[in-house]
Structure 1
Amino acid sequence: MRIYISADMEGVTGLVDADDVQPGGRDYERGRAEMAADVNAAVRGALAAGAAHVLVNDAHGPMRNLLPEALHPAARLVRGRPKRLGMLEGLTGEYDAVLCVGYHSRAGAPGVLSHSFMGHEIEDMWLDGRPVGEIGLAQATAAALGVPVVALTGDDAACAEMTEWDASVATVPVKYARDRFAAELREAIEETVAAALATAPRRPAPSAAEATLAVRWQSASVAETLLGIPGVTADDPRTVRASGPLPALYRQFGVWMRVASSLTNQPPYC
């Protein structure tokens, strides 16, 4: 069994503030240790379920948060950026299941460190007309490749978002949001992952069907610049959309974010 882990940071056990998850933050070094602990718990759960290969993609911010020496020795690590598929780099149809570790709820949700990919720069996103953030877009892209997401860890808001998107996914609420920068903590990652993989749902059929992604940006300048990309159209001065099969559309969205980063200097959690 081949298992793929996409590891974000805002939904990691104990982390509640930008200083916990941003390089240079006063508690970042502790935060990356907590990230490794959550990821390693998921790796142990995968191994307990019989995984013979585990690939971990560091999917947060600079994508250099996980120290190789801190990772479980049975896992392989994808580290650094840029990556063609960003948070899903390395995922192919050869994998049997995806685990999303340390994920957070989408922009506007009352979850810990909630946002969609780029802090306040992205105000809203929709996939085929359905509100979406990092959770839904990851699940839809994995499904298009024929790989099910079987477990997600994060705060209770992230878990609820995953359940709303795909109720078959096992969720582990490692903290309960009291506000956007406060939480009550708990953890049960290893056991939940092992159980989820032991009863993994049937693999979805790979799909080349077209999907439509729309994004409302905080800056009209970003939207206007993106209109120079073939296939991108405007809904209004700040909202653009494009259609195509996943994961190609997911990859194009990564280009949109690089354009937005070149035009703005918005801190992630202001």
Structure 2
Amino acid sequence: MRIYISVDMEGITGLVDAHDVQPGGRDYERGRRMMAQDVNAAVRGAVAAGATDLLVNDAHGPMRNILPEDLNPAVRLVRGKPKHMSMLEGLTPEHDAMVCVGYHARAGELGVLSHSFMGHEIEDIWLDGRPVGEIGLAHATAAAMGVPTVVLTGDDSACAEMTAWDPAVTTVPVKYARGRFAAELRPAGEVHAAIQEAVTAALSAPLPAPAAPAGPATLTVRWQSASVASTLPGIPGVTSTDSRTVQARGPLPDLYRQFVVWMRVAASLTDQPPYC
């Protein structure tokens, strides 16, 4: 059984603000160790369920947060950037299931470190008219490849977002949001046991057939900066709907890969730090 694990950082056990998740932050080194511990709990669960091939993608920020020596030796790690598929780099139709570790709620939701991909720079995203963030877009892209998402870990807001998107996905709340930079934390040992148990149970059951999108999808993004929205239509297939909103239509996962290019363009045009 081949399992893919995409791991973000904002939804990791014990982490609550930028000092925990940004390189140079006073608690970042602790945060990256906690990140590896959550991943290792998921890996133990997958191995117990019979997984023989595990690929972990470091999907947060600089994408070189996890120290390879901190990971279970059973896994291969995708580390660094740029990556053509960003948070889903390395995911293929040959994978039997995807597990999302440390994910967070989309922009505008009251969740720990909530945002959509680029801090303040992206205000809203819609997939076929449905509000979406990193959770829904990752789920839909994996489904288009024929890969079901079976477990997601994060704060209670992220878990609720996943359940609203697909109630068949098992969620593990590692903390309970008390604000964007505050949370009630579950004990780390309790969380790691819960993650391991959830992954083992999900992968031991018959894997669901993902509901892949029928035909092309429409991705719409509203940016904070009008300069981003005015530049992106230079890419074939991208159109403006107003001064700060662009959209494109195409099949997933190709549309996801194009969105990664949009973010690179936006990053070159802006210098907006996340979480401020």
Q: TM-score of the superposition, structure 2-length normalised?
A: 0.96
Contact 1:44 1:190 in 2 (8 A): yes
Hey, which bits of structure 1, 4+ residues long, moved more than 3 A?
Answer: 205-208
Aligned partner of 1:264 among 260, 265, 270? 270
Q: Which residue of 2 aligns with 1:199?
A: 205
Describe how 1:13-32 pairs up with structure 2 within 5 A: 13-32=13-32
Which stretch of structure 1 is more off in the superposition, 23-32 or 200-209?
200-209
How far residue 207 of structure 1 moved from its aligned partner, in angstroms, is 5.9
Deviations 1:33-58 (A, max 9, x none): 00000000000010011100100000
Q: Which residue of 1 aligns with 2:132?
A: 132
Q: Take 1:213 and 1:255, find their aligned partners in 2: how far apart are those partners? A: 13
Q: Which residue of 1 aligns with 2:58?
A: 58
Q: Which residue of 1 aligns with 2:11?
A: 11
Contact 2:125 2:222 in 1 (8 A): yes
Q: Take 2:39 and 2:258, find their aligned partners in 1: how far apart are those partners? A: 28
1:172 is paired with a residue of what secondary structure?
strand
Whichever residue aligns with residue 262 of structure 1, its letter is S
Whichever residue aligns with residue 197 of structure 2, its letter is E
Deviations 1:178-219 (A, max 9, x none): 110011112121111111111243233766720000000000
**Aligned: 1:240 with 2:246:** yes
**Aligned: 1:40 with 2:30:** no
Contact 1:123 1:217 in 2 (8 A): yes
Q: Which residue of 1 aligns with 2:98?
A: 98
Whichever residue aligns with residue 95 of structure 1, its letter is H
Q: Take 2:213 and 2:146, find their aligned partners in 1: how far apart are those partners? A: 7
Q: Take 1:252 and 1:194, find their aligned partners in 2: how far apart are those partners? A: 34
Q: Take 1:252 and 1:208, find their aligned partners in 2: how far apart are those partners? A: 19
Q: Take 2:154 and 2:121, find their aligned partners in 1: how far apart are those partners? A: 22
Q: Take 1:205 and 1:134, find their aligned partners in 2: how far apart are those partners? A: 18
* Pair 1:200–1:136, CA change in 2 (3 A): farther
2:125 is paired with a residue of what secondary structure?
strand
2:108 is paired with a residue of what secondary structure?
coil
Contact 1:32 1:65 in 2 (8 A): yes
The root-mean-square deviation of aligned C-alpha atoms, in Å, is 1.0
Unaligned runs of 5+ in 1: none
Whichever residue aligns with residue 9 of structure 2, its letter is M
Which stretch of structure 1 is more off in the superposition, 201-210 or 40-49?
201-210
1:12 is paired with a residue of what secondary structure?
coil
Whichever residue aligns with residue 100 of structure 1, its letter is C
How far residue 261 of structure 1 moved from its aligned partner, in angstroms, is 0.2
Q: Take 1:108 and 1:173, find their aligned partners in 2: how far apart are those partners? A: 19
Contact 1:106 1:133 in 2 (8 A): yes
Q: Take 1:23 and 1:168, find their aligned partners in 2: how far apart are those partners? A: 35
Q: Take 1:122 and 1:11, find their aligned partners in 2: how far apart are those partners? A: 19
Q: Take 2:206 and 2:42, find their aligned partners in 1: how far apart are those partners? A: 15
